[in-house]
A and B are shown apart, each in its own frame.
Chain A
């Protein structure tokens, strides 16, 4: 049993690609930052617009940005876990 675990650890260590993982984390963080900025901009626009149809469209985009950001945060967590292993 010990040997099996040891072999698994060795395999994980050998198959890990720290550079690729680090670069992906960096890219997701950049994208999250851009989404956050977009969310702020959409909120500002929403305060200024009265028109019903346009308001609804802005709210949809705001919901999508939020959902995409949540996905990105989950992605970062997964990548962090991978790094820790």
Chain B
């Protein structure tokens, strides 16, 4: 059994022993459990409503740093879950839908937004009998949860979440009141630097175990209200809770791709710097809290609100310190954290967190298919003995082909297995997981189209396997007529690869459907022209019918490869409006008709 597998049973056993022998902890534990379940319900509820709105707002809020900060603060304040905001931000940064610097801004804003939780608990939670509000919330929440309508169900989750949060706060309060009579933890309070460090560590551990800084703050505030911890130690625990939440994000970031790991690292750096400043200047900050508290009318003995104020101040301080260097931090992280060297068959964008929202799932798959397309283009270019750099440059393809003296050594079968099949399988597997998720039903058609595009790319490479065999055999033939025909096949494929590369990089304007259709018409025309020329060469005895048949077969393979690549490109380039762009694109019959019309008139109209 691994250490990871042992962890949960050990925690459960320890918890069972503690609750069995010290029943005074029971109510506190129930409070924490309710609180955590409430947060889980809130996250589920908000996920129902994030089917577009949150993502749209997020994309629009990332062109300026102040907008990122404001978005992070506002969304976390409304949702009371920095975890959900961080998770979505990580997915967006990982899918390269927003820049790393924007992601850092949102995470910093979320750190400020999360401090509103402390104000709510200290200001309302412990002063009002909130359990009385929780009961109707749970009743209405459960009724709404049983409805089929998505929106009503989501609202039900939100009500239940708020209800359980309130119950959690109530039980924690009751628990500490009972606990106070049985045991006095304040006897263990420590002062000085050792005390600050010790309680910071306790706050951090609490957050790591519960995976929620909100829950830790609830415990800290209720313990402070019950007099179980001193004010000074509570401040240190609040610092620790912040550090703990960074560790939670860091663990989440490990599962993400390179963008997610960079963002998680930025979160850790931000929280560590904020904590270091807060620990170093804890005396000065306490004084500042006291001064500000008197300014805004908080009583000097109201330590609960003062703790909330401290929590806000040190998070804002962290933001103030780091805002001027966000750009520098982002570039430094991009330099420090680089993708591990790996062969190109590894998926770059498919990771579990991308399944969180429809937009990130589609973008991740689209980018991965593009990655597969890129690998296939490289392989096909080598198959026709052209360097990738030649395809990517403006150099004359005709000259490069004419100058070919020997074919590139290439085991196309092995390359297919290594660079195409494995990646195609990963894409198919990822789409299968995505299609089984309810929250991704709306993008099911798009994912299906992308799966077909991935298959088209794989088929194109399979076609290249057949073409390559004959190219090696006849491509550099002494017979100039044969060589000319194979050179023409290589040139057409090379031109298509170059054209597709320009399309993928957006170098040909905003109408990719036009370019793809034009490329198809060109292919039909050149194909007919080549077949006519072959007939003429056979008639004039310049080519044996057996060799002409091989060239015709290879022409057919070329058409298959080109058609598969264009089909895939059309889907990848559609960028979310598959139906509409397909609607105006010409179908196969219309394309053939257009090619025939142009031939019939002797020249294009």
Residues in A with CB closer than 8 Å to B581 are 31
A85 within 8 A of B: no
Q: CB within 8 A of A75: which of B511, B583, B598, B603?
A: B583
Known: A59-B605, A61-B518, A63-B521. A75 touches B584 (CB 8 A): yes
A residues 1-57 in Cβ contact with B at 8 Å: 24, 27-28, 31, 34-35, 38, 56-57
Question: Per-residue CB proximity of B574-586 to A under 8 Å, as 1/0?
Answer: 0001001101111
**A64 and B577 contact, CB distance less than 8 A:** no
B522 within 8 A of A: yes
Chain B interface, DSSP helix/strand/loop, else mixed: helix
Nearest-neighbour CB distance to chain B for A63, whole angstroms, equals 6
**B522 and A57 contact, CB distance less than 8 A:** yes
CA of A64 to CA of B362, assembled, Å: 29
Q: How large is the interface on A (under 10, 10 to 19, 20 to 34, 35 or more residues)?
A: 20 to 34
**B580 and A68 contact, CB distance less than 8 A:** no
Residue in chain A with minimal CB distance to B583: A75
**A64 and B603 contact, CB distance less than 8 A:** no
Residues in B with CB closer than 8 Å to A59 are 598, 603-605
A77 within 8 A of B: no
**A56 and B577 contact, CB distance less than 8 A:** no
Chain A interface, DSSP helix/strand/loop, else mixed: helix
A71 within 8 A of B: yes
Residues in A with CB closer than 8 Å to B585 are 68
**B514 and A64 contact, CB distance less than 8 A:** yes
Residues in A with CB closer than 8 Å to B517 are 64, 67-68
Residues in B with CB closer than 8 Å to A72 are 584
Residue in chain A with minimal CB distance to B510: A34
Residues in B with CB closer than 8 Å to A61 are 514-515, 518
Known: A57-B522, A64-B521, A71-B583. A34 touches B594 (CB 8 A): no
Nearest-neighbour CB distance to chain B for A40, whole angstroms, equals 13
CA of A31 to CA of B605, assembled, Å: 23
B441 within 8 A of A: no
B409 within 8 A of A: no
B residues 556-605 in Cβ contact with A at 8 Å: 577, 580-581, 583-586, 590, 594, 597-598, 603-605
Residue in chain B with minimal CB distance to A41: B509
CA of A63 to CA of B517, assembled, Å: 10
Q: Using a Cβ cutoff of 8 Å, how many contacts connect chains A and B?
A: 66
CA of A65 to CA of B605, assembled, Å: 12
Nearest-neighbour CB distance to chain B for A21, whole angstroms, equals 13
B265 within 8 A of A: no
B513 within 8 A of A: yes
Residue in chain A with minimal CB distance to B577: A27
CA of A31 to CA of B511, assembled, Å: 9
CA of A38 to CA of B433, assembled, Å: 41
Nearest-neighbour CB distance to chain B for A74, whole angstroms, equals 10
Question: Per-residue CB proximity of B487-520 to A under 8 Å, as 1/0?
Answer: 0000000000000000000000111011101100
Residues in A with CB closer than 8 Å to B513 are 68
Residues in A with CB closer than 8 Å to B509 are 38
Nearest-neighbour CB distance to chain A for B386, whole angstroms, equals 19
Question: Per-residue CB proximity of B516-538 to A under 8 Å, as 1/0?
Answer: 01100110010000000000000
Q: CB within 8 A of B580: which of A28, A38, A62, A65?
A: A28
Known: A61-B518, A64-B518, A68-B514. A31 touches B580 (CB 8 A): yes
CA of A59 to CA of B521, assembled, Å: 11
**A64 and B586 contact, CB distance less than 8 A:** yes
CA of A62 to CA of B605, assembled, Å: 9
Residue in chain B with minimal CB distance to A72: B584
Q: CB within 8 A of B584: which of A56, A62, A63, A71?
A: A71
**A71 and B586 contact, CB distance less than 8 A:** yes
CA of A46 to CA of B525, assembled, Å: 20
Nearest-neighbour CB distance to chain A for B515, whole angstroms, equals 8
Residue in chain A with minimal CB distance to B604: A59
CA of A60 to CA of B597, assembled, Å: 11
**A63 and B511 contact, CB distance less than 8 A:** no
**A38 and B603 contact, CB distance less than 8 A:** no
Nearest-neighbour CB distance to chain B for A7, whole angstroms, equals 26
Residues in B with CB closer than 8 Å to A64 are 514, 517-518, 521, 586, 594
**B511 and A35 contact, CB distance less than 8 A:** yes
CA of A38 to CA of B513, assembled, Å: 12
Nearest-neighbour CB distance to chain B for A78, whole angstroms, equals 10
Residue from A59, A64, A68 with most neighbouring chain B CB atoms (10 Å): A64
Nearest-neighbour CB distance to chain B for A83, whole angstroms, equals 17
Residues in A with CB closer than 8 Å to B522 are 57, 60
CA of A28 to CA of B509, assembled, Å: 18
CA of A28 to CA of B584, assembled, Å: 9
**B514 and A63 contact, CB distance less than 8 A:** no
Instruction: Supply 20 A–B pairs (Cβ within 8 Å), ascending by A.
Output: A27-B577, A27-B580, A28-B584, A31-B580, A38-B514, A57-B518, A59-B598, A59-B605, A60-B518, A60-B525, A61-B514, A61-B515, A63-B604, A63-B605, A65-B514, A67-B517, A67-B594, A71-B586, A71-B590, A75-B584
| 5 closest Cβ pairs, A-B complex | A59-B604, A61-B518, A64-B517, A64-B518, A68-B584
Sample of 19 more A-B contacts, CB < 8 Å, known A35-B511, A61-B515, A63-B598: A27-B577, A28-B583, A28-B584, A31-B581, A35-B514, A56-B603, A59-B603, A60-B521, A60-B525, A63-B597, A64-B514, A64-B518, A64-B521, A65-B514, A67-B586, A67-B594, A68-B514, A68-B586, A71-B586
